[in-house]
Amino acid sequence: MFPKLRIMFVFGTRPEAVKMAPIIKEVEKFPDMLESIVVVTGQHRQMLDQVLETFDIKPDYDLCIMEESQSISQIVARCLNGLEGIILREHPDIVLVQGDTSTAFSAALSAFYHKKTLGHVEAGLRTGDKFEPYPEEMNRRLTSNLTDLHFAPTKMAVQNLRSEGFAKNHIYLTGNPVIDAIKMVVDKPYDLSKMVKGIDKNKKMILVTVHRRESFGAPMRDICEAIKEISLSYIDQVQFVLPQHKNPTVRETVSEILGDLNNVVLCEPLDYLPFVKLMDAAYFILTDSGGIQEEAPLIGKPVLVIREKTERPEAIMAGTSKLVGVKKDNIINEIKLLLDKPAHYEKMSKASNPYGDGKASERIVGAVMHHFGFTDKRPEEFS
Ligand code: UD1
């Protein structure tokens, strides 16, 4: 009989929690073989706690690192310091990190310093530009270099890793666990009007999220000005709903430009279930988020990606998302196309799902068990 395999999950922001949650739940299915140690850094506070509650996850450790207007260096330094004691005390067999946040990179570095096996969920996404998105592109590239088991969500991610020289047998094509997460909640009933006041069902609702650091300043102002212009010229037909990220830099610009408009609803960040319901109720989505680019195609909602580059080209190739940049006039034109040209809207709103089949967590946990000799069988690839 093997001793139990100790799997340490480290995450700190809302999107990491959403994508790690189904993997933690999968580990719970093997209580005789696997043991999870859940460490949250608390890089996000309120936004993280909402997700933990939704998926009923109680962390074993919470580093509580969040501070107002924290710098990236502060995040990394506090994560490294906090994780050291926990890794030394818990002796995990493997540390799992997700994606490209500074929490993920710090935990990967800490695992390396303590010579722990590292698994990287959502490995292999790339834009090829060091500063787009910033600091995420380098966070994920550096993490790949520290990783032993790469869990790539798509074929393209596998190709990226292969072209950088990572060994084939250390890469598992798993699909993205965000699809597992959304499938866990999408059919649950929920009354949206409880959470978001002022939704007008007679208008086409455009859901907006913005938070990227590389958009701070002029691009963020341009994005907001574009929304303002559309809201004024389509005052009777359209309503924008914008759940605001907690980041004060984002809030300042958003409320200055959009705060006083009748058909723009600004609300607090939503819990995962109401947010999924809001996506479902939207006519289309305007976002710079990564996770939403993966979730929206599953529920057949067109996405305009307000960024210069994306590491998620699959939905763009499938025709359900479009990269529209951060220039005001272009954003306005693309919104108008979706509002005014039904054929264009129809084409973009077909449901397609290049990111997963809901079994990514099963494959990731299967791959970990395979790596440590708990099973001879390598998990079947996502296709
Ligand atoms: C972080 C990640 C980014 C990810 C995003 C998802 C880094 C450097 N950035 O960006 O990759 O896409 O999360 O949302 O890892 N705040 C709160 N409460 C919260 C969350 C944030 O008050 O629940 C405030 C804090 O004052 C903080 C600021 O928002 O200083 C920014 O948060 P931070 O984690 O530094 O970066 P994000 O922009 O959220």
Q: Over the stretch 332-359, which tens digit does the pLDDT of each residue have?
A: 999 999 999 999 999 999 877 899 999 9
Query: For ligand 1, is residue 127 a contact (CB within 6 Å)?
Result: no
Tell me: cis bond preceding 133? Omega within 30 of 0 counts: yes
Given the residues 26, 35, 62, 136, the one annotated as active site = 136
pLDDT exceeds cutoff 80 at 2: no
Q: Which of 134, 246, 295 to mutate to test the pocket of ligand 1 (most atoms within 8 A of CB)?
A: 246
Active site residue 162: no
Over the chain, what is the mean pLDDT? 96
Burial of 29 (0-12, 13-18, 19+ CB in 10 A): exposed
Respond yes or no: is residue 150 known to be catalytic.
no
pLDDT digits 0-9 by tens, 207-239? 999 999 999 999 999 999 999 999 999 999 999
Tell me how far apart the alpha carbons of residues 288 and 189 are, in angstroms, rounded to a whole number. 27
> Does residue 247 register a pLDDT over 70?
yes
Please provide the CATH number assigned to the domain covering 192-349.
3.40.50.2000
The number of the ligand 1 atom at minimal distance from the alpha carbon of 100 is 11
pLDDT bracket for residue 1 (50, 70, 90): low
Reference 219, options 263, 261, 253; nearest CA is 253
Question: Is 245 one of the annotated active-site residues of the chain?
Answer: yes
Kindly report the pTM of this predicted structure. Answer: 0.95
Residue 182 CB contacts under 8 Å (≥ 6 apart), including other chains: 276, 295, 298, 299
Q: If you classify domain 5-176+356-371 with CATH, what class do you get? A: alpha beta
* pLDDT given at position 148: 98
Nearest CA among 46, 44, 28 for reference residue 36: 28
Give the domain ranges of the chain.
Answer: 5-176+356-371, 192-349
pLDDT value for 196: 86
Give yes or no: 136 in active site: yes
Residue among 20, 51, 101, 212 to mutate when testing ligand 1 (max atoms within 8 A of CB):
101
pLDDT reported for residue 376: 94
How many whole angstroms from 229 Cα to the centroid of ligand 1? 28
Q: From the CA of 72, give the closest atom in ligand 1.
A: 8
Same fold, 5-176+356-371 and 192-349: yes
Q: Is 122 a catalytic residue?
A: yes
Residue 193 — very low, low, confident or very high, per pLDDT cuts 50/70/90? confident
